[in-house]
Amino acid sequence: MELTKNITLGVYLPGSTSIHRLDPRTKILAAAILIILLLFVRTYEPYLLFSLFLFAVVLLSRIPVGYALCGLKPMLPVLAIMWVFQLFLFKTEDTAVLFSWWIFEATEAGLHMGNLISLRVLFLFTTTTLLTLTTSVVSLTDGLESLLKPLAKVGLPTQELVMTLVIALRFVLILAEELEKIVKAQMARGVAFDRGNFLQKTKKLFPVFLPLFIGAFKRAEELIVAMEARSYTGGRGRTKMKTLRFGRVDLYSTLATLAFSALLVFTILRSGPLY
Amino acid sequence: MNLSVRKIVISGILGAIVILLGVTRLGFIPVPTPAGHATIIHIPVILGGVLEGPVVGLITGAIFGLFSFLQPGAPFFADPLVSVFPRLFIGVVAYLVYFATKRINTVLACVLAGAIGSLTNTVLVLGMATWRGYLPAEVSISLGFLHGIPEMVVAAILTVILVKGIQRIRPAEEK
């Protein structure tokens, strides 16, 4: 069981391409705009444009395409099942029936709904993965903190919330390694994780979950002591060694993203929803 | 509003477990239904609510929601109203249930917090999915029974075991 192999979220591939060197705020904002636009896409054409854009980003950042997509692998079976699910179960009033089997009917609307929703999943996934692959956790934090500053004025503990997110991202890989050790240790004791029915499989999870959580909480206690010993106070009045600077490349890429977004909005508006 | 270091760290680590269970698919138990799996990813959120209070429950729930929106496991989660919004309530509800019943018996309180926290997830997610038109109502209801009940049972059992186990290793002032 290689658990850590397919984790691409929270992994940073260091590089010195223009995408890597962009101000994190530019990248976060661009990703946010694209994700929001994705929610309104109801036809196929915008996805074509979208994939061209993402492909350009991948090329510019010199990330191996296979690596960027390998996080998708564990997701595919579920995606396929849900696609079939949509195909048979989504119904509208006036739609052509493609074929029917027993009590199920595959409708044209269901087919489109399944396709579009699966595409949205794929693009959401790729967009966020590209962001974390090209941006280190440190600059992601700085960018988020600076973007959320207006909310801090209202009284939200933005620094603390960003810190929480950072801890979460940082600990995913650490806990994954721990999980792998636990799973291997239990397998060495003769637990066959892939055999048995639903109940047996569930039961086998208990000897994995308990050590995982206990280990995680032990780490948490250690981290709390370490942070308190260093007088962490949520970063009020904290200064930065590297201040973020919005450069010319950022201006160009923001303009490019905005132009692309405008194009996307135009295509979304022009083509009415398919269902 | 201020967040203590403890709250920040515990929410962060529970958030990491949520993400981990999601990316490794370990948080999905295969069951013989159309959707193919029951989830146990919401258990860290319930734990956050029970062990550290509503704020940690809320933050962990938000991480859960955000993650399942950005890296969706099922197509209808690619809509923040289905993925993020319902998850904000899991931890808070679990905390309220635990807080209301812990006087009677802490084990019972954990069972109830786990079960009702899980129920909150099932009902709100499927409710939102139906309301937004991703699933027809009959399918949602049958899914609710097929998934909701096993999820509730597993969540109740795991909550008791984990809360009891974790309370043993935590510093004494927390009780």
Q: Would you list the domain boundaries of chain B?
A: 5-169
Distance of CA A93 to the CA centre of its chain: 35
Bridge partners, B88 (sequence order):
none
Q: Hey, are the CB atoms on A124 and B3 less than 8 Å from each other?
A: no
| pLDDT tens digits, A19-76 | 888 888 888 888 888 888 888 887 888 888 888 888 888 888 888 888 777 777 777 7
Burial (Cβ within 10 Å: 0-12, 13-18, ≥19) of residue A204: middle
Report the SS3 class of residue B143: helix
Average pLDDT, chain A: 80
CA distance B161 to chain A (A): 8
Kindly indicate the confidence band of residue B175, based on its pLDDT and cuts at 50, 70 and 90.
Answer: very low
Separation between Cα atoms, residue A272 and residue A147, nearest integer Å: 34
Using DSSP, state whether A104 is helix, strand or coil.
strand
pLDDT value for A225: 92
Residue B79 near residue A39, CB atoms below 8 Å: yes
Q: What percent of chain A has pLDDT over 70?
A: 87
Cα distance between residue A223 and residue A268, in whole Å? 47
Cα–Cα distance, A111 to A118 (Å, whole number): 11
The tokens for A44 are: 């196929």
Rounded to a whole number, what is the distance in Å from the CA of B81 to chain A's nearest CA?
11
Two structure tokens written together for B162: 């984990």
Inter-residue contact A7 to A177 (CB < 8 Å): no
Q: How much is the average pLDDT of A232-261? A: 78
Q: What pLDDT, on a 0 to 100 scale, did the predictor assign at position B80?
A: 80
Q: What are phi and psi of A105, to 5 degrees?
A: -125, 125
Q: What whole-number distance in Å separates Cα of residue A241 and Cα of residue A230?
A: 18
Higher pLDDT among residues B132 and B60, named by residue: B60
Cβ <8 Å between A120 and B71: no
CA angle B50, B55, B58 (to 5 degrees): 85
Say whether A170 and B75 touch across the interface (CB within 8 A): no
- What pLDDT, on the 0 to 100 scale, is given for residue B115? 92
Contact assignment for A164 to B8 by CB distance below 8 Å: yes
B18-53 pLDDT tens trace: 988 887 777 776 665 555 567 788 899 999 999 888
Q: What's the rounded mean pLDDT across residues B94-100?
A: 91
DSSP state of A6: T
| Interval B126-172: pLDDT, tens | 888 888 777 777 777 887 887 788 888 888 988 888 888 888 887 75
Instruction: Provide the chain B residues 106-135 that lie in CB contact (below 8 A) with chain A.
Output: 134-135
pLDDT (mean) for A90-114: 68
Is the Cβ–Cβ distance between B39 and A78 less than 8 Å? no
- Beta-carbon contacts of residue B171 (< 8 Å; ≥ 6 apart): A221
Q: Is the complex ipTM more than 0.90?
A: no
What average pLDDT score do residues B87-114 get? 90
Does B28 contact A234 at a Cβ distance shorter than 8 Å?
Answer: no
Scanning every residue of chain A, which has its alpha carbon at the shortest distance from the alpha carbon of B166?
A214
Mean residue pLDDT of chain B comes to 83
User: What totals of helices (H) and strands (E) does chain B contain, helices first?
Assistant: 7, 2
Q: Collapse the DSSP code of A105 into the 3-class scheme (helix H, G, I; strand E, B; otherwise coil) and give the result.
A: strand
Select from B3, B10, B36 the Cβ nearest to the Cβ of A160: B3
Residues in a beta bridge with B30: B37
**Chain B partners within 8 Å of A166 (Cβ):** 12
CATH of domain B5-169: 1.10.1760.20
* Structure tokens given for A195: 């055999």
Burial of A27 (C-beta count, 10 Å sphere; 0-12/13-18/19+) = buried
**In contact, B48 and A168? CB cutoff 8 Å:** no
- Whether B6 contacts chain A with CB within 8 A: yes
pLDDT in the model for residue B13: 94
- Contact with chain A for residue B171, Cβ under 8 A: yes
- If 0-12 CB within 10 Å is exposed, 13-18 middle and 19+ buried, where does residue B146 land? middle
What are the backbone angles phi and psi of residue B28, rounded to the nearest 5°? Answer: -110, 125
The C-alpha atoms of residue A202 and residue B31 are separated, in whole angstroms, by: 10
* pLDDT tens sequence across A165-217: 888 888 888 898 898 899 889 888 888 777 777 677 777 778 888 899 999 99
Which chain B residue has the Cα nearest residue A231?
A: B5
Find the Cα–Cα–Cα–Cα dihedral A120, A42, A134, B84, rounded to 10°. -60
**Where do the domains of chain A lie?**
1-155+245-275, 158-233
Three-state SS at A184: helix
- Local confidence band at B125 (pLDDT 50, 70, 90 cut-offs): confident
3-state class of B39 per DSSP? strand
Q: Is the dihedral of CA B51, B55, B59, B64 positive or negative?
A: positive
